[in-house]
Structure 1
Amino acid sequence: MITVFRRRALIGAATLGLLASTVVGGAGPASGGLPARWVGTWGTALTAASLGNTGSSLAGFNDQSIRQVVRISLGGEKVRLRFTNAYGTQPLSIGHVTVGLPATAGSAQLKPGSLREVTFGGSASTTVYKGADVLSDPVDLTVDAVSELAVTMYLPTATGPASWHWTARQASYVYAGDHAADETGAAPAATYNDFFYLAGVEVQTKTGLGTVVVLGDSVSDGSGATFGANSRWTDQLANRITSTFPALGDPGVINVSLAGNEVTRDGITLNSPALGESALARLDYDVLAQPGVRTVVVQLGVNDISFFNDPAARITDGLRQLAVQAKARGVRVVVATVGPFEGYSSWTADKEATRQAVNTWLRGSDAFDGLIDFDQLVRDPAAPTKLLPAYDSGDHIHPNDAGAAAIAAAVPLWLL
């Protein structure tokens, strides 16, 4: 299987490489390399609460703690956390926050001695106003690349509806009372497959240089990936980036994909705000506002086809506009073709024709700095409208771990 790229992307990548060489070889700190800087190492897209109160998102929390385990991409010497109340209906009181290292993958139990108190302007508590974010003070905690962090926040008063991310593919643990300083993480009152309020993690690093942001749907969000295994294609891309020598200048990988997300329509159109606002509506906050963003990978379109059978022109016009806006801010744009989904419950021959039309346009367009042909990577050569059986998670639309690995392996790192 091959991946198609734009000639313009190759030229741009060569230029970037020369710039990187110039920066590294020029005047830097006495120890060599890049000066320490803050780089995004993890992030997620948050949405309004589920109308069905999934994960207690609509009811919110009251005198409860939430321990969330997140898998970062780049390592560093310090960390800081960003919390959001973007979709809340009132100010959010945060009474106590800690960060530590899980004892084992996905565990609520922390490694002894790894727990650190998190402050906000020197205070242990803070208020996140309606629609706003808050960034913590730096925390002295050395973290390795492609490792996990456990962030625990205590919410002392009723929060109202939560800002959350459904289908996290990772357990979050909820406790009664303040358990932020509890290393054991024992006896949670509930365990959810969701993230709450935590929007981003940054690390201070001398090797990282900017971030790559993935703006996608459930294929990138991890539907089809093994729960708790950090096997999304974006995770496996981070593995490649951080294991490739030399590490100097490596970008962080931030995945702001949302299951069910669409290019031009909001999730509320389907009575499901958890699907998020359209990609066009969330571009500024979820992508362009990320720290040091240098490239966005856009993987979208299948839901516009599957849910609504939108015409190809509506989808391609939306994708083109995403590129125009990102490039106007100096961000490179790499686009993915729409993968096959025959056998999925909503597939029809008409929708397949639309998918083919979108992909034909993407392969011939000069609107983007590069293209990754997801369709060609994961389709069955004997039945190109279907996923390759070895890559099929079972629902005929989402790649499994092996399919995700194939996608990650095909991404040219020089393009990022």
Structure 2
Amino acid sequence: MTKRHAGGVGDSPTRHGALLAAMITLIVAVSAAIYVGVGIDDGSRRQETFASAPRNSAAPASTGVWVGAWSASPSGSEPGTENNGLAGRSVRNVVHSSAAGTSARVTLSNLYGQQPLTLTHASLAVAATVNSPAAAADTMRRLTFGGRPTVVIAAGQQVVSDVVRIAIPHDSDVLITTYSPTPSGPTTFHAHARQISYTAEGDHAADVTGTPYTTQSMHWRYVTALDVLSRDSAGTVVVLGDSLTDGITSTVGENRRWTDVLSDRLRATAGSSDVPRYTVVNQGISGNQVLANGRGRPADNPSGLSRFPRDVLGRTGVKAVVVDLGVNDILKNPGQADPETIVAGLRGLVDLAHARGLRVVGATLMPFNGHRGYTDQRESVRQAINARIRSGKVFDAVVDFDKALRDPYAPGRLRSDYDSGDHLHPSDKGYERMAQVFDLKALKGAVPAEL
């Protein structure tokens, strides 16, 4: 990994740079108005809730540091839920915890809802076995919000549950269940979970057997974060990315995204050789771009720049950021993608992180020759962006995924055993390689906050 040069926002200003600077300033101002109190560095301050219920002042007391154990970015509204949402159904999300904890809390989102979402029952439990809707004995906990079992989440907002005492083992599946009795409009979801979750007809949020959960889903619905009070971890690494981080071609239910492997490496070596004791949360959205939003209001698949305040700065205990974005800005540009504009967008992400004193590790863009979107012109843009990243003038440190996964005999392509088959996304082996070449020491340290 290379280091970012001092003062690295760098070259002479251009019209694109001026527009991006104005856009970043606007993003910061808007996010400050919407997301109050985001970014909890030491667990002493909880993220603000947006429900009408007050927060519970009698949360369980314990010791440790609040960190992110799991997270997923809301990516849009689920097709087919425009009118009724998931009224009358229990939604049992299966998420995988990257950290052990003695207490937990959950973030639920109605970002893409068009009307208030009423949840009359929500629960948290450790799964009895992997890939199962059944709960382990004596782990079922009812979630409350400001001391009350029912919560109403306004359209476009989110809520954080009260803290519950529960032992969350490292590397365990956790069941987060919600039940809404009334129509709520579009369901906020994360489309590509690579994890099977479940639904049941009626209110079965307290069910421990899993028997009523007869319908499977490949989405995460409503839930966007699981935080734990940890005695083993000192902070959270947030990875912002696209489908390569989302792990869209990884094996379902086996947690083989590159961020999962990175988490395991950090845990195995934490506290030795200057490796920080950090958890990892994955904020990848398939198809995501640095600069362009998707359609709709709010936008489906919001750009990296627009979602950075919520999905990175808003995560619990964030200490470092990893950025792996840019390929879709090349592939989805109907004209000629401008490498300077994309690089300026990447620098904008760094500026947002530096304003909070956060260190940023950036990734080179991996090859995609053989993919249906490949052209020689797009390859030249990728090469130009990678040259700028490798120069050390964009990020604080660099992980060279391009070098690690490309075919040495055809460097415009992924090596065959690292290729899922579509010539863009890695195989499980390729994802593992991405995590293995990551220099864990590059995550340590901070930068002076830019006021």
Q: TM-score w.r.t. structure 1 length? A: 0.88
Aligned to 1:380: 407
Instruction: Name the stretch that deviates more: 394-403 or 243-252.
Output: 243-252
Q: 2:439 aligns with which of 393, 403, 412?
A: 412
Q: 2:97 aligns with which of 62, 72, 97?
A: 72
2:323 maps to 1:293 = no
Correspondences of 1:190-269 after superposition (within 5 Å): 190-246=215-271, 250-268=277-295
Q: Which runs of 5+ in 1 are unaligned?
A: 10-33
Aligned to 2:172: 147
Q: Distance in 1 between matches of 2:83 and 2:283?
A: 21
2:115 maps to 1:90 = yes
Q: 1:6 aligns with which of 3, 14, 17?
A: 3
Residue 351 of structure 1: CA displacement? 0.7
2:325 maps to 1:328 = no
Q: TM-score w.r.t. structure 2 length? A: 0.81
Q: Distance in 2 between matches of 1:335 and 1:93?
A: 40
Q: Distance in 2 between matches of 1:304 and 1:59?
A: 34
Q: What SS is found at the alignment partner of 1:367?
A: coil
Retained in 2: the 8 A contact 1:70–1:149?
yes
* 1:138-192 CA-partner distances (Å, limit 9, x unpaired): 1111111222101111111112101111011111211111011111212435321
Retained in 1: the 8 A contact 2:367–2:413?
yes
2:135 maps to 1:115 = no
Aligned to 2:381: 354
1:404 maps to a residue whose letter is: Y
Residue 59 of structure 1: CA displacement? 5.0
Q: Distance in 2 between matches of 1:131 and 1:277?
A: 14
Residue 315 of structure 1: CA displacement? 0.7
2:397 maps to a residue whose letter is: G
Distance 1:257 1:7, change over 3 A: closer
Q: What SS is found at the alignment partner of 2:77?
A: coil
Retained in 2: the 8 A contact 1:66–1:174?
yes
Retained in 2: the 8 A contact 1:146–1:238?
no
Q: Distance in 2 between matches of 1:317 and 1:244?
A: 35
Aligned to 1:138: 163
Between the aligned residues of both structures, percent identity stands at 39
Aligned to 2:67: 39
Q: Distance in 2 between matches of 1:272 and 1:389?
A: 39
Retained in 2: the 8 A contact 1:207–1:249?
no
Q: Distance in 2 between matches of 1:175 and 1:299?
A: 36
Instruction: Name the stretch that deviates more: 184-193 or 213-222.
Output: 184-193
* 1:214-233 CA-partner distances (Å, limit 9, x unpaired): 00000000111001110000
Q: Distance in 2 between matches of 1:365 and 1:212?
A: 21
Aligned to 1:13: none
Q: What SS is found at the alignment partner of 1:256?
A: strand
Q: Distance in 1 between matches of 2:192 and 2:229?
A: 29
Q: What SS is found at the alignment partner of 2:332?
A: helix
Distance 1:69 1:57, change over 3 A: farther
2:397 maps to 1:400 = no
Instruction: Name the stretch that deviates more: 322-331 or 35-44.
Output: 35-44
Residue 7 of structure 1: CA displacement? 7.0
2:238 maps to a residue whose letter is: V
Retained in 1: the 8 A contact 2:67–2:227?
yes
Distance 1:57 1:368, change over 3 A: farther
Retained in 1: the 8 A contact 2:83–2:183?
no
Q: Distance in 2 between matches of 1:350 and 1:306?
A: 11
2:154 maps to 1:164 = no
Q: What SS is found at the alignment partner of 2:284?
A: coil
Q: Distance in 2 between matches of 1:67 and 1:184?
A: 12
Retained in 2: the 8 A contact 1:98–1:153?
yes
2:203 maps to a residue whose letter is: D
Number of aligned residues: 384
Q: Distance in 1 between matches of 2:299 and 2:306?
A: 13
Retained in 1: the 8 A contact 2:4–2:393?
no
Aligned to 2:337: 310
* 1:18-52 CA-partner distances (Å, limit 9, x unpaired): xxxxxxxxxxxxxxxx95221111111003315x4
Q: Distance in 1 between matches of 2:133 and 2:83?
A: 24
* 1:51-100 CA-partner distances (Å, limit 9, x unpaired): x43xx477521111100010111111111111111221111111111111
Q: Distance in 2 between matches of 1:278 and 1:7?
A: 24
1:62 maps to a residue whose letter is: A
2:356 maps to a residue whose letter is: R
Retained in 2: the 8 A contact 1:83–1:199?
yes
Q: Distance in 2 between matches of 1:250 and 1:148?
A: 21
Q: Which runs of 5+ in 2 are unaligned?
A: 7-61, 444-451
Q: Distance in 1 between matches of 2:129 and 2:135?
A: 8
Q: 1:370 aligns with which of 363, 374, 397?
A: 397
Query: Which is richer in helix?
Result: 1
Q: Which runs of 4+ in 1 moved over 6 A?
A: none
